Structure 1
C-alpha cells in the first residue's frame, strides 16, 4: 500500500525564557512529519539545532529529498545510510515507528521487546540567571528528585552553590553547554563535590575535549555535543564516563537504541535527554529513559501549550502520553 509523507515547521511559544550559555529562547521550532498509509498515519518530530548546522528550512529540505524513498517503502534501517543523523531523520524515523504500530496493531514496546513505558524521574531545569534568581527558581522546585542547573563561565560556582542551598536534597546535574575550558573544569571539581553534583554534562566544546582522555575528576563527566551516534563511542569512551542520548542527535529511535546498548556494553552511564520540544518528541525518548541513569525530558514542560494528549509531570515524575498519542 503506498505511503504519503507530509512535513511542516511548527512553533511553540514558551511559558518563560529558556536561557543557556548559547543564548535565550522564547519559542521552540520543530519539524513535524506525518506518513499516511491507508487509514493510518504515523507522526514524528525533530528539533533542528543551529549548533549542528540545522534550521527548520534545512531539515524540511532533507525531508523533501528523502520523500520518494520513504513513500516507496524505505525501512528505518535503510534510512540509517540514506540520511545523515539529525532532526530530519529523527522526525521520519519516529513517524515510521508510529506508522508500523498503527498498521500492525503492535506497540513500539512490543516491537523492541520492552515493557510499556512507565513514569520516569525527569530533571527539571534551572536556567541561567543571577545566583539569587537561580536560588529562587530552585526553591520553587526543591521538592523534586532531580534538578538540572544550566551555567556558563561567568560565575558558575556561585550559581551551583546557590541552587544547592535552595534545593538541598535534590540530585543535581550541572550543564555548562560547552562554555567551560580545561582550567575551569579542574578548578570546579572541589565545588562540584562539595555540592554533591551527580554528573557534569559537556563542560567544554566537543572540538576541544581531547584533554579529557584519561582525566578522572571527582564527579563523572557526561558527553552531550561530543556524541551523536554509535560511531562516536570509540572516541567518547576514552574521555567521558556517561553519554546523553538524544534522538535529534542520533537521527531517531532506531539509532538511539543501538547507541544506548553499545554504550552500556562499554560500561558508560546513560542520560536520556531532549531539546526544547513537544510531547511528540518525548514519547519515543521514553524507551531510552526506562533504563537510563538520569532522564532530562522536561522539554515540553517549557511550552505554553503542548500537543493535546501529551506527557504530564507530577512532582518531578514524567508520565507517558495518553494511549494512542504515539507508538
Structure 2
C-alpha cells in the first residue's frame, strides 16, 4: 500500500465579527490535509491553529511536510498508534497540525472500511448531544439581536462570551431575549479568582448552566478557589490540553473541555474523555475557528460527550465542507451516515 498527501490553505469568513475576551476576528485561516490511498480513497482533515497555543497557519504549513512524510513512510493508514507516536516524536507541540493529520487518517480508515467513525468505535448515534451556539461579545443590543437570530434558527443552547465590565447586564439581556434557552457562559480566562466568584454569584440567578474557564490556565490554585466557592458548575478549557492535564485539575472543576486542535488528534481526544469520566468529570468537546473538515470528526465523538460546543461551521458565512447535520443544534450522526468523518467538499 502507498499513500500520497497534499496541503491547502483556505480562508473562512465569519457571518458576523466574532469577539471574545482576547480579541475580535472576522475570518479564520485553516490548513487542509488530504491523504489518498492507492485505490483513490481520500481522507480529509483540517488544522485550525490558535496563537494562544503557539501555532499559526505558517507554523502548521512549516511542520506538515515532516508529519506527512511519516504518513507516507508508514504507508498504512490503519497504523494509527504507530503514526501518532512518530508524529509526537517529530513535533512535541503543534497540536493543530497533528490533529489535521489524525483526522485525515481516521477519515481514510473509515472510508476504507465503509464505516462512519462512530460505528468504527462502536458508538450509539442515538446517544448524541446538542451543540451550543456561541454569542460573541458585542454591545448589548447587538448581542440581543444575535440571540434572537440564533433562537429563530432553532438553537436551544447558547454559549455567551463574557469578560467585560458589564457581564451581568449581558447575561440578563440574553436571558430576557431567550427565556427558555439553556445558557452557558465562557470567560476565556478573563477574571481573577475573587472577581470570578463575585460575577458568578451575580449571574447565577439568571439560570446559567455552567461557567467555562473563569481564570487563567496558569493559575490552577485560582481555579480551585473558584470551584470551591462557585454556586455554578465550573468547566476547565484552557487548563486542559491533554489527558495528563485532566488529572491535574480533576479536583478543581466539574467539566473537562477537550478540543482536537489543542490535544493533537482523535486518539488523544478519546483518552481525555476516558480520563475525565474515570475522575467523575463530565466532558464537553469544543472547537476553534474550524470548518467541517475537522468539526465532522469531532462530532463523531458525540455519544461519548455530556456537552458539545461544535458550532464553528454555524458561525461561518460559508463552509466549503458539508459535515454532520446539526438540525436545531442536534449532532445528528445517523442523518449523514457517510463513511469516515462525514466531511465532504461541497
Q: Do the structures match in fold with TM over 0.5?
A: yes
User: Equivalences for 1:121-160 in 2 at 5 Å?
Assistant: 121-142=130-151, 144-160=155-171
Q: Number of aligned pairs? A: 327
5+ residue gaps, structure 2: 342-346
Partner of 2:15: 15
2:57 corresponds to 1:77:
no
TM-score by length of 1: 0.93
CA change 1:322–1:243 in 2 (3 A) is same
Q: Residue 10 of structure 1 aligns to a residue in which SS?
A: strand
Partner of 1:240: 253
Residues 156-165 or 45-54, more deviating: 156-165
2:51 corresponds to 1:43:
no
User: Equivalences for 1:1-327 in 2 at 5 Å?
Assistant: 1-38=1-38, 39-73=40-74, 75-78=79-82, 79-80=84-85, 81-82=88-89, 83-84=91-92, 86-116=95-125, 120-142=129-151, 144-213=155-224, 215-216=227-228, 217-320=230-333, 322-324=336-338, 326-327=340-341
TM-score by length of 2: 0.88
RMSD: 2.0
Q: Deviations over 1:196-254 (max 9, x none)?
A: 11110011110123222264211011011110111112211122111111111111111
Give 1:273 shift.
Answer: 0.9
- Looking at structure 1, the residues matched to 134 and 69 of structure 2 have their Cα atoms a distance apart, in angstroms, of 40
Q: Is the 8 A contact 1:19 1:128 kept in 2?
A: yes
Give 1:127 shift.
Answer: 1.0
Q: Residue 153 of structure 1 aligns to a residue in which SS?
A: coil
Q: Deviations over 1:82-117 (max 9, x none)?
A: 343510010000111111122233432233222347
Q: Is the 8 A contact 2:214 2:223 kept in 1?
A: no
The answer to which structure has the higher helix fraction is 2
Partner of 2:344: none
Q: Is the 8 A contact 1:197 1:219 kept in 2?
A: yes
